[in-house]
Structure 1
Amino acid sequence: MAQMRASYACDPANSRGRHHPQPESAMRSAFQRDRDRIIHSSAFRRLKEKTQVFVAHEGDAYRTRLTHSLEVAQIARTLARALNVDEDLAEASALAHDLGHPPFGHSGEDALSEAMTEFGGFDHNAQTLRVVTKLETRYPEFEGLNLAWETLEGVVKHNGPLMRAGDDPTVLPWGFRAYPGWQALELHTHAGVEGQIAALSDDIAYNNHDIDDGLRSGILKIEQLMDLPLVGQVFRRCRERYPDISENILIHEAVRELIGLMVADVLEESRRRLEESGADSPDAVRGLDQPVVAFSDGMTESLAAVRRFLYANMYLHYKVKRMKEKGKMVVRDLFSAFLSDPMLLPTELQRDASGAGAEATARVVCDYIAGMTDRYAIEEHRKLFHVEGWG
């Protein structure tokens, strides 16, 4: 039986449309079509070997950007179904949210951002918009994936509104302003419920899988978690309930319970906010002064403590930092080499990079590096600088 759509849900039949008008599909809604375009994109496939926390070649058991995106999408569909909004739009926004991430995670982004300081800068969220509106070249009639307005909104407002009404557009990263339709995306408002769901699902996914990966790597120990709010309680409860299980199953059970608790908390808080707001349309949700999809104050405090713990004990761990520094070195070296001699770029990029002016050349180089997987970047670096091994 078809699910009743809430009044504040985005309706694909009433989508604001695409930058390049196209006939509707007879078999799929606009948002289902967007989800499929994202999954079939080259940028999505490359997420399989892009760092989440651990560099992709360090082990098959750790999350990559691809498995992270799939986990975010699964949580997003659960939340969207429970809140009676469009599951396909929430899923599409979740699947697309990291398409602009460069190799080596945030350390790669830091290196690219530093390298691009004089050329308009680099921001991975803005790069995601650039990927889906320009860099994916799959169609004869337009650049990019030509996603629906609502899907683009979910992508660009992943971290909330980007500006306040009346702000000078120069506050926006270059990648947003480079998109011809950026003003129509209403960057001073919140995303619709589905886009907000994708953003909170990202928080739920990475907080839990970073604990999971940290424990399995040996960088974290279960005993270190016992004083953390919520996390320690759940691990103790699971130990008491199943005293004879292996550590491997204990981690699975605790992380599963943590995800469930966070999802339940978001649903309770979001239902309360939606009811109190009186929002009865997607535009009413966008016009509110705060998001409607959120954690409770108590959960927000608990997660802040978890993030502080992970930062101090995992992200700053010497093994993680060594890999991050190597990733930065690779990105810096590649950028410097390609910028100084664009003829080192692949043939198909040389025409756009050579003689185009410093800023245009830098952007070609930046797009090329940002699209690399960890493995490809390491191999390109080896070819250019004869660096052997990463041990």
Structure 2
Amino acid sequence: MLFHRERPLSPFAVDHRRSRGRLIPEPPSPTRTVFQRDRDRILHSNAFRRLKHKTQVFVEHEGDHYRTRLTHTLEVAQIARSISRILGLDEDLAEALALAHDLGHPPFGHAGEDALDRLMAAEGGFDHNAQALRIVTRLERRYAAYDGLNLTWETLEGLVKHNGPLLDAAGAPAGRYRKSGVPSSIIDFDQKYPLDISSFASAEAQVAALADDIAYNAHDIDDGLRAGLFPAKDLRDVPFLAAILYEIDRLHPDLDEGRRGHEIMRRVITRLVEDVASESERRLVALAPLSAEDIRAAGAPVIAFSASMAEGEAALKDFLFTRMYRHPRVNRLREAAARIIEDLFRRFLAEPAEMGEDHPDAGHNDPARLPRRVADHIAGMTDRFAIQEHGRLFDQTPALR
């Protein structure tokens, strides 16, 4: 007897009852669908808890109200469930993918990832999506019967392909991997458990990807205003935001800056969510998919912004890149963070014993595996632990302020 309630879903939603299963078969749960189990395994993982002390843009000790990877992830999950509910998709699968999407990020945000990618260039680089797959299929060590979380095919597929196919029809790297190639860890796992990496992912995975964009765009505005990196009036340079600011000022002319910032953020989220829902419904009606397989076989994403909103969202990203992500204050943090990552990487490469033994490859002496093991170790660190380890191993640690 199943105790969970069945929700009516659209015909193109992923049906948990027809899941392709897990790499290692397990008996079904009497109380949860397979995607609810995936969500719960992600929530209870060590990697998920570490998101609490990993940077979104600012170093985690900068202030209590700036976003971390954890708060960002929870915001993405909420948006993903909302859009999925509107479209009649499986909310649990979308939520599981939203909760897992940042598991592979190293400390110090993009500064940490860029540093690790440079240091691992001879080994194929470092990619946070590939790292998330390594975490959920290998590095988490919680279960007696296997390494990793043994997630369903659909969750693994969405984790790897939420931004689109990794290979084109001819088998060449596609999208973000066109220049660098698909990471070997994804290729190796795909050979063992094929994820159809030349097709699109489910609509639920596409929702999780758009929810990520919506969350960080809106909330980086909030964090940027809070940090004083730019005044609210400068947001008028983005046409999409100029209309929102006009609306707020017309309705609430005497609003204080704190509440004004929150009004901007919530209206941005509302506009973006409503636009995604409307455009996605239009695309779905045109495609008339009868199954999740029809979504995967489509030649383009079915979950997307409208053309006009995509233009506005791109302008917002350009504004945030210039005024926030490359602000002199943030650049100083990035440089200090990169130095910490570089120092730790070189020390652990020279003295592996300093890392301890908590890694599946810890007992192997193959020097070819060592760089990836070092990258795994550093990528799993929180900001504060990376700073603490640098202080333990070096006389002077760069100031992240």
Q: Which interval holds the TM-score relative to the shorter structure?
A: over 0.9
Match 1:51 to one of 55, 63, 68? 55
Could you tell me which of 344, 349, 372 is aligned with 2:381? 372
Decide whether the 8 Å contact of 1:19 with 1:181 is kept in 2.
no
Q: Deviations over 1:39-63 (max 9, x none)?
A: 0000000001111111111111111
Q: What residue is the counterpart of 1:200 in the other structure?
A: 210
1:219-253 CA-to-partner distances (Å, cap 9, x unmatched) read 11101111211112112211210112211111111
Does structure 1 residue 96 correspond to structure 2 residue 105? no
Deviation (angstroms), 1:387? 2.2
Q: Write out per-residue CA displacement over residues 260-299 of structure 1, whole angstroms, 9 at most, x where no aligned residue.
A: 1110000110000001012110001000110000000000
**Partner of 2:116: helix, strand, or coil?**
helix
Matched position secondary structure for 1:263: helix
Say if 2:163 is the partner of 1:164. Answer: no
The residue that corresponds to 1:86 in the other structure is 90
Distance 1:171 1:216 in 2: 38
Which amino acid in 1 is paired with 2:212? D
Quote the offset at 1:118 in angstroms: 1.2
Per mean C-alpha deviation after superposition, the further-off stretch among 68-77 and 154-163 is 154-163
Tell me how far apart the structure 2 counterparts of residues 189 and 171 of structure 1 sit (CA, whole Å).
Answer: 16
Structure 1 segment 271-286 matched on structure 2, within 5 A: 271-286=281-296
Partner of 1:251: 261
Give the C-alpha shift of residue 351 in structure 1.
Answer: 7.1
Q: CA deviation at 1:138?
A: 0.6
Is the CA contact (8 Å cut-off) linking 2:361 and 2:373 kept in structure 1?
no
Question: Does residue 1:67 correspond to 2:76, yes or no?
Answer: no
User: Hey, what does 2:147 align to over in structure 1?
Assistant: 143
SS of residue matched to 2:362: helix
* Counterpart in the other structure of 2:177: none
Matches of 1:350 and 1:201, distance apart in 2: 33
Q: Does 1:337 align with 2:347?
A: yes
Separation in 2, partners of 1:351, 1:143: 12
In structure 2, give the amino acid aligned to 1:58.
Answer: E
Letter in 1 for 2:379: A
* Matched-pair identity in %: 50
Aligned in 2, Cα 1:96/1:330: closer, same or farther, shift over 3 Å? same
Task: Tell me, yes or no, if the aligned pair for 1:353 and 1:361 is still in contact at 8 Å.
Answer: no
1:129 to 117, 127, 133: 133
- Ranges in structure 1 where 5+ consecutive residues have no aligned partner: none
The range that moved more, 287-296 or 161-170, is: 161-170
Distance 2:113 2:318 in 1: 21
Return the alpha-carbon distance in structure 1 between the equivalents of residues 322 and 182 of structure 2: 31
1:28 match: secondary structure? coil
Structure 1 partner of 2:332: 322
| 8 Å CA contact 2:59, 2:400 repeated in 1 | no
What residue ranges of structure 2 are gaps of 5+ in the alignment?
Answer: 174-179
Alpha-carbon spacing, 1:236–1:227, altered in 2? closer, same or farther (3 Å)? same
Write out per-residue CA displacement over residues 183-228 of structure 1, whole angstroms, 9 at most, x where no aligned residue.
6100011111100000000010010001110000001110111121
Q: How has the CA–CA distance of structure 1 residues 165 and 25 changed in structure 2, closer, same or farther, with 3 Å as cutoff?
A: same
For the residues of structure 2 that align with 1:308 and 1:374, how far apart are their CA atoms? 27
Deviation string, structure 1 residues 10-54 (Cα, Å, up to 9, x no partner): 011110000100001000000001000000000000001111111
Distance in 1 between residues matched to 2:301 and 2:154, nearest whole Å? 16
Which shows bigger deviation, 151-160 or 86-95?
151-160
1:220 lines up with 2:230 in the alignment: yes
Cα gap change, 1:181 to 1:71, in 2 (>3 Å):
farther
Deviation at 1:4, TM superposition (A): 2.1
TM-score (norm 1): 0.96
Q: Superposition RMSD on alpha carbons, in Å?
A: 1.7
Query: How do residues 262-273 of structure 1 correspond to structure 2 at under 5 angstroms?
Result: 262-273=272-283
The number of equivalent residue pairs is 390
Q: Distance in 1 between matches of 2:80 and 2:191?
A: 27
Distance 1:269 1:160 in 2: 18
Q: CA deviation at 1:115?
A: 0.8
Residues 34 and 147 in structure 1, CA contact (< 8 A), matched pair in contact too: yes
> Deviation at 1:177?
2.0
Q: Which residue of 2 aligns with 1:312?
A: 322
Secondary structure (helix, strand or coil) at the match of 1:141 reads coil
Superposed displacement of residue 165, structure 1: 2.9
